């Protein structure tokens, strides 16, 4: 229970905590990271396999 | 109580982390990094690596290569399949199809070969037994790797990717001769 | 109109529509698990070569049904129930868009039934992976697509409920850790379903003849974005359940919110990359891609799992020590409620997931070591440790908690329930260990006949491989008995269990709400922040949970030793380059 009688200026929430409290930001990075590193990079790998001579 | 309640501190990010957790995170991180660098290390100093050399191909194109090798180096027949003895150091081919590995190869011990693998139809699994080397064989792609058999004897190629009702009959063979 | 009921035992606030949706999703999950379990009989008794129960066609059919029902339908139905619990119930918030949630559930049921019908009809025995260019009937793929769309709706209902709870200020501060873990599962689910859509929709069009070619390697890549990530939803979900059960059983509080949430963040970022574990011996993909993805970006998601492995039992130890169980390293553990299936299920899930599932997973996911493991029966052994014990047993433990709390029934045959986690874990562990051994000897997965009857050539596995598969068979049968005990207790409780509320009838067990009088709270009391920590240190030398630390070091030693054994084994096979 915060017992502040008059909290004039609550301590600002640190950046990382704000990030972890933001579900849509997390959703965004959680989809983008695997899409870029796994799916897109992987598709490029397959697409650039040379044709057999 | 608190795993299903909001954290007891409004700014929980700044609550100091206990010593025990810090020590464990440190140890675990070192181990994780070690395991990570073990893979590139093995590429440089280990002997079992895939080259990842591969080509896009077609069943017809790959079959033509296999047939050319069979015609040139065939030395006999076994179980209705040609036995092929290509020269050491050469390109050797094996194809997977419903439900056989074709042809039978005869290789020499301690010699290197460029082994080309592909599938004519569905996906197959190249599982060399009892050595236990396992590769995924995908139609439309030709995989190339340099193998150096270091044991003599007869080895089976089991198909270990499900390929329909006859999957369990799909066996191939590689014989390795002493020099 | 009043919409909440307060559970008199646990104090949870159940929103009327969320309550019904949790029930129907959980029940649909258990039905899927039942189908999977029945099929498991056929699978394990066929792989036990001396019994060799089914002919080849029925074996592959049973294996397909077993895989899809256990790995997709059971867990995802149950996870949707968990998402609604972690949002609506834990945050004391009404469920956002209940009509959409019902629509999603309907799609999931239709999809699951359609897919099962396709396989039962016999022309879609293509395994869970349905690797193109092997083709199933169109409704096999369509069923999966409908199921996935339904699950996606469930994810968005969860996210919507989080927004609603924040706007209505139903809670103070940040969401609880369990809800954060559920969010992690939801995020991974969105990626999973997106990958599924990218690959299954074209595959469906191909099966009806609209597209004429599906590239087999592209299929593998994207399919595993779904197939493996779907199992990572489980990891996030069951870790959250571990935290929840430790909290409910022991009043445990996370050792550090920052550390536990940071570990979940590492899951969000990197866990899905492990889909690459299936692509390590595929043609033509560079080692850079393989090494980066298979290691979840330098094993940072493994680090996260190792952190949870310390903090979950650690939080429990701290709570137990605060109650005075401070003797030696392990009094807190010895005096845990071992006869409560909620605890034993949770704890076996944790231990077997970590010691067997985790270690084998990392070892086989090492780029080069995968050469000696890919597609051998080692692989299903690994994922039975992670999914069949780690996830499934955690969900079973949660079920024993939910039957009184959510369904308002007493456990039916509590003695059976008490034994169930022991039987199930013992059977699974036996099966897993011997399947790992057989896989090391090269026995292949998804294979009807170790004798290769009818093959033109011949090959014989060593006798030990047969012995190992037989012992695995015995373990599998025991595990199925344990699974059956779970279904008997669960279904028995829902139908015959003593009612804890007069209106908890049969229909109420399957989704109908209790009598209106129960829902007498219009606006829930806001959820306050947890009370501040007042207990003093009970461990030694700044180590609050020394017993857990010893367990963690034991895990690390097993991990290191086993890791090098496998490198040594790899070094003995033919040189390849």
| For residue C422, pLDDT beyond 90 | yes
Residue B137 phi, psi dihedral angles, 5° rounding: -110, 120
Give the distance from residue C414's alpha carbon to the nearest chain A alpha carbon, in angstroms.
Answer: 40
Considering only CB atoms, which chain C residues are within 8 Å of B131? Answer: 573-574
Q: Which of B1, B21, B163 sits opposite C247 (nearest CB)?
A: B1
Name the token pair of C36. Answer: 């999977």
Q: Decide if B93 is inside a domain.
A: yes
Q: The domain containing residue B173 runs over which residues?
A: 52-177
Q: Give the whole-angstrom CA distance, residue B159 versus residue B168.
A: 7
Contact residues, chain A to chain B, C-beta under 8 Å: 2, 10-11, 13-14, 16-17, 20, 49-53
Q: Decide if B105 is inside a domain.
A: yes
Give the distance from residue B79's alpha carbon to the nearest chain A alpha carbon, in angstroms.
Answer: 31
Considering only CB atoms, which chain C residues are within 8 Å of A33? Answer: 269-270, 272-273
- Kindly determine whether residue C265 and residue A49, on different chains, have CB atoms separated by under 8 Å: no
Give the distance from residue C343's alpha carbon to the nearest chain A alpha carbon, in angstroms.
Answer: 30
Strands B100-102 and B74-78, by their bridges, are unpaired
Work out the average pLDDT over C310-318: 95
Q: Give the whole-angstrom CA distance, residue B10 versus residue B8.
A: 7
Q: Decide if B64 is inside a domain.
A: yes
- Kindly determine whether residue C268 and residue A29, on different chains, have CB atoms separated by under 8 Å: yes
| pLDDT at res. B2 | 79
Q: Give the whole-angstrom CA distance, residue B44 versus residue C360.
A: 24
Give the distance from residue B155's alpha carbon to the nearest chain C alpha carbon, in angstroms.
Answer: 8
Q: How many distinct structural domains can be found in chain B?
A: 1
CA nearest C256: which of C183, C314, C323? C314
Residue appearing with tokens 């969401």? C175
| For residue C292, pLDDT beyond 90 | yes
Q: Decide if B34 is inside a domain.
A: no
pLDDT digits (tens, 9 = 90+) for C141-190: 999 999 999 999 999 999 999 999 999 999 999 999 999 999 999 999 99
Q: Decide if B83 is inside a domain.
A: yes
| pLDDT at res. A3 | 52
Q: Please tell me which chains touch B, using 3 or more CB pairs under 8 Å as the contact test.
A: A, C
Q: For an interface test with A, which of C193, C236, C256, C265 has the most A Cβ atoms less than 10 Å from its Cβ? A: C265
HEC string for C319-343 = HHHHCCCCCCCCHHHHCCCCCCHHH
Give the domain CATH number at B77: 2.60.40.420
Name the token pair of C569. Answer: 């084994």
| pLDDT at res. A1 | 46
CB atoms within 10 A of CB B157: 27
Strands B91-97 and B113-119, by their bridges, are parallel
CB atoms within 10 A of CB C560: 14
CA nearest C173: which of A27, A8, A10, B1? A10
Query: Is A28 an 8 Å CB contact of chain C?
Result: no
Question: Do C132 and C203 touch, CB atoms closer than 8 A?
Answer: yes
With a CB cutoff of 8 Å and minimum separation 6, the contacts of B52 are C283, C284, C285, C286, C287, C290
CB atoms within 10 A of CB C6: 16
Interface ipTM:
0.96
CB atoms within 10 A of CB C60: 25
Q: Chain A residue closest to C219 (CA)?
A: A43
- Kindly determine whether residue A23 and residue C162, on different chains, have CB atoms separated by under 8 Å: yes
Question: Do C355 and C429 touch, CB atoms closer than 8 A?
Answer: no
| pLDDT at res. A4 | 52
Torsion angle of C-alpha atoms B5, C272, C234, C146, degrees rounded to 10: 110
First to last CA, chain A: 74
pLDDT digits (tens, 9 = 90+) for C230-256: 999 999 999 999 999 999 999 999 999
Q: Decide if B125 is inside a domain.
A: yes
Q: Give the whole-angstrom CA distance, residue A46 versus residue A40.
A: 10
Residue appearing with tokens 């990271």? A33
Q: Which of C187, C222, C528 sits opposite A30 (nearest CB)?
A: C187
* Cα–Cα distance list, C59 to B97, C62, C428 (Å): 22, 5, 20
Question: Do A49 and B54 touch, CB atoms closer than 8 A?
Answer: yes
Predicted model pTM: 0.96
Name residues 495-514 of chain C within 8 A of B (Cβ). Answer: none
> For the packed helices C177-207 and C257-270, what is the interaxial angle rounded to 10 degrees?
10
pLDDT digits (tens, 9 = 90+) for B109-164: 999 999 999 999 999 999 999 999 999 999 999 999 999 999 999 999 999 999 99
Q: Give the whole-angstrom CA distance, residue C418 versus residue A5.
A: 51
| pLDDT at res. C523 | 87
Q: Decide if B47 is inside a domain.
A: no
Q: Decide if B24 is inside a domain.
A: no
Stretches in chain A below the pLDDT threshold 70: 1-8
């Amino acid at each position: 229970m915060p017992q502040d009688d008059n909290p004039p200026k609550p301590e600002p929430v640190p950046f990382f905590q704000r990030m972890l409290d933001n579900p849509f930001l997390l959703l965004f990075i959680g989809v983008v990271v695997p899409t870029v590193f796994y799916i897109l990079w992987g598709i490029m790998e397959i697409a650039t396999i040379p044709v057999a001579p | 109580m608190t795993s299903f309640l909001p954290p007891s501190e409004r700014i929980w990010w700044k609550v100091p982390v206990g010593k025990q957790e810090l020590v464990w995170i440190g140890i675990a991180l070192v181990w994780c990094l070690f395991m990570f660098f073990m893979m590139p290390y093995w590429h440089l100093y280990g002997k079992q690596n895939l080259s990842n050399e591969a080509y896009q191909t077609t069943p017809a194109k790959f079959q033509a290569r296999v047939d050319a090798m069979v015609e040139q180096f065939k030395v006999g027949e076994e179980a209705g399949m040609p036995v092929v003895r290509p020269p050491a150091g050469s390109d050797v081919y094996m194809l997977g199809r419903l439900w056989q590995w074709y042809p039978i190869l005869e290789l020499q011990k301690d010699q290197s070969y460029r082994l080309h693998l592909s599938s004519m139809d569905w996906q197959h699994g190249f599982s060399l037994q009892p050595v236990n080397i396992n590769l995924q064989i995908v139609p439309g792609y030709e995989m190339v790797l340099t193998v150096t058999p270091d044991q003599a004897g007869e080895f089976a190629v089991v198909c270990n990717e499900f390929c329909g009702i006859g999957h369990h009959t799909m066996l191939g063979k590689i014989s390795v001769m002493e020099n | 109109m009043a919409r909440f009921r307060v559970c008199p035992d646990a104090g949870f606030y159940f929103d009327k529509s969320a309550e019904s949706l949790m029930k129907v999703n959980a029940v649909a999950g258990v039905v899927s698990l039942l189908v999977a379990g029945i099929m498991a009989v056929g699978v394990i008794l066929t792989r036990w070569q001396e019994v060799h129960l089914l002919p080849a066609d029925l074996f592959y059919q049973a294996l397909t049904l077993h895989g899809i029902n256990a790995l997709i339908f059971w867990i995802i139905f149950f996870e949707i129930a968990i998402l609604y619990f972690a949002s609506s119930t834990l945050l004391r918030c009404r469920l956002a868009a209940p009509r959409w949630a019902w629509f999603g559930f309907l799609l999931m049921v239709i999809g699951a039934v359609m897919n099962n019908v396709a396989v039962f009809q016999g022309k879609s025995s293509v395994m869970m992976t349905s690797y193109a260019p092997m083709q199933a009937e169109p409704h096999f793929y369509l069923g999966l697509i409908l199921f996935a769309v339904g699950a996606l709706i469930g994810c968005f209902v969860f996210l919507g409920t989080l927004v609603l709870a924040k706007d209505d200020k139903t809670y103070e501060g940040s969401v609880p850790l369990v809800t954060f873990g559920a969010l992690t599962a939801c995020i991974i689910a969105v990626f999973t379903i997106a990958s599924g859509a990218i690959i299954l929709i074209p595959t469906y069009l191909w099966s009806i003849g609209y597209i004429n070619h599906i590239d087999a390697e592209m299929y593998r890549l994207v399919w595993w974005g779904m197939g493996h990530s779907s199992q990572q939803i489980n990891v996030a979900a069951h870790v959250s359940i571990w935290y929840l059960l430790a909290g409910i059983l022991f009043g445990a509080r996370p050792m550090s919110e920052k550390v536990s949430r940071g570990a979940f963040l590492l899951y969000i970022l990197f866990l899905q990359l492990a889909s690459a574990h299936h692509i390590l011996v595929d043609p033509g993909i560079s080692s850079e891609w393989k090494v980066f993805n298979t290691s979840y970006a330098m094993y940072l998601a493994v680090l996260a799992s190792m952190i949870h492995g310390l903090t979950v039992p650690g939080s429990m130890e701290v709570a137990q020590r605060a109650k005075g169980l401070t003797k030696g390293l392990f009094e807190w553990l010895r005096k845990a409620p071992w006869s409560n299936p909620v605890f034993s299920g949770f704890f076996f899930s944790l231990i077997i997931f970590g010691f067997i599932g985790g270690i084998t997973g990392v070892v086989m996911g090492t780029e080069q070591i995968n050469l000696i493991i890919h597609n051998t029966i080692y692989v299903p052994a690994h994922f039975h440790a992670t999914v069949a014990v780690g996830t499934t047993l955690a969900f079973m433990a949660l079920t024993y908690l939910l039957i009184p709390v959510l369904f308002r029934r007493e456990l039916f045959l509590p003695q059976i329930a008490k034994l169930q986690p022991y039987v199930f874990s013992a059977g699974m562990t036996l099966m897993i260990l011997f399947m790992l051994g057989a896989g090391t000897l090269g026995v292949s997965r998804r294979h009807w006949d170790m004798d290769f009857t009818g093959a033109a050539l011949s090959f014989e596995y060593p006798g030990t491989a047969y012995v190992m598969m037989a012992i695995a068979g015995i373990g599998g049968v025991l595990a199925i008995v344990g699974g059956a005990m779970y279904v008997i207790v669960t279904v028995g409780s829902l139908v015959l269990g003593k009612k804890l509320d007069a209106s908890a009838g049969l229909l109420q067990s399957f989704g109908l709400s209790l009598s209106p009088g129960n829902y007498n709270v219009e606006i829930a009391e806001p959820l306050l922040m947890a009370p501040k920590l007042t207990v003093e240190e009970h461990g030694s030398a700044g180590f609050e949970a020394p017993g857990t630390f010893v367990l963690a070091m034991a895990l690390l030693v097993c991990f290191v030793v086993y890791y090098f054994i496998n490198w040594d084994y790899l070094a003995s096979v033919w040189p390849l380059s």
